[in-house]
Each structure stands twice: as structure tokens, then as C-alpha cells.
Amino acid sequence: MTRTAKIWAVLGAVAATTLAGWLLVVTAVYALGGLMTVRVVDRSAGFDLYLPVPMAVVDAALASAAIPAVYTAGLGGGLEVDGLGVDLGEVGPVLVGLLGEIDELPDATLVEVIDGRERVRVSKAAGKLRIEIEEPGTSIDVAIPARALARLADRVVD
């Protein structure tokens, strides 16, 4: 084998190993947390944004970012800025438990509100909690893996 052939063989082996490693990492990230998707369409501006986000990235962002002050009056709290979480009083644990059970529900529309030409629908479909907002000229669709909901709520709610 010539020197050039040896160099190409080593480079090929390094490239194959690197590709296999990245595929393993991507597969593990997806399998462990799933993929949250956000789609925003503004027909009047010709704007169409589709953003897939691995849940591992969402977890990391929640772990490293402070959530701004949130007013929770009527939910058992006041103005809370305590670290990452939001104090929802007695409602917090109930919310975390409820979100943890959504993965067990059959696919169905959970809530749908229609007001004139505007519509909001919250549903569970294909293992994801979907929030769809439609108004003339604009639509927003957010899909979050149902198995990750309790973990996310637990991080946000004190």
C-alpha cells in the first residue's frame, strides 16, 4: 500500500468513526427526550418558520436560565422570582401530576375554543401534546412530547 493510500485509509476511518459517533449522539438525544416542534405561519407576510428542538436542549435551557417574575394571583401565590421556579401554591403539584398523566391518555382533543374566525385547540396526538392557534392569516402549532411534560413542569413549578 502506498503512502497516499494509507493516508486516505486513515482519513476515511476517522471520518466514518466521527459520523458513527454523531449518529449515536443524535439518536440518544432524540430517544431520551424526543423532539419539540414549533411552526409559525404568517400568510400575509409569506413567513413560514419550522423549528424542531430536541428536548435535551429545552432541559438545558431551563436548567441554566432564570424565569422572569410571574404574577400568580388567584393560583395561590403573588409575585414570585424565586430562582427558576414559579410558586403556584397548591396548584403546582396538581399541575405536575396532571401533565405526567397526559402520556397515558388516548389521542383526543382536550380543549377547543372557537371565537368567530379564531380557534385554539389543545390535543394529544401521536404521543405529543399539541397546541394549535389559528386566526385569519396566522397559525401557530407547538408539539411537545407527552412523556417530557411532567419533567418540564417539575422544573418550572416549585
User: Does pLDDT of 78 surpass 60?
Assistant: no
pTM (2 d.p.): 0.65
Higher pLDDT, 70 or 130: 130
**Alpha helices for 34-148 (secondary structure H):** 55-64, 91-101
User: Does pLDDT of 64 surpass 80?
Assistant: no
Rounded percentage of the chain residues whose pLDDT exceeds 90: 24
Please write the tens of the pLDDT for every residue from 30-58.
666 788 889 999 988 888 999 988 887 77
Closest CA to 54 of 34, 40, 38: 34
List C-alpha distances in Å: 81 to 69, 87, 125: 5, 9, 34
Domain boundaries, the chain: 1-32, 34-156
User: Does pLDDT of 95 surpass 70?
Assistant: yes
Q: Residue 80: which residues within 8 A CB-CB, separation 6 or more?
A: 69, 70, 72, 86, 87, 158
Closest CA to 139 of 74, 54, 53, 45: 45
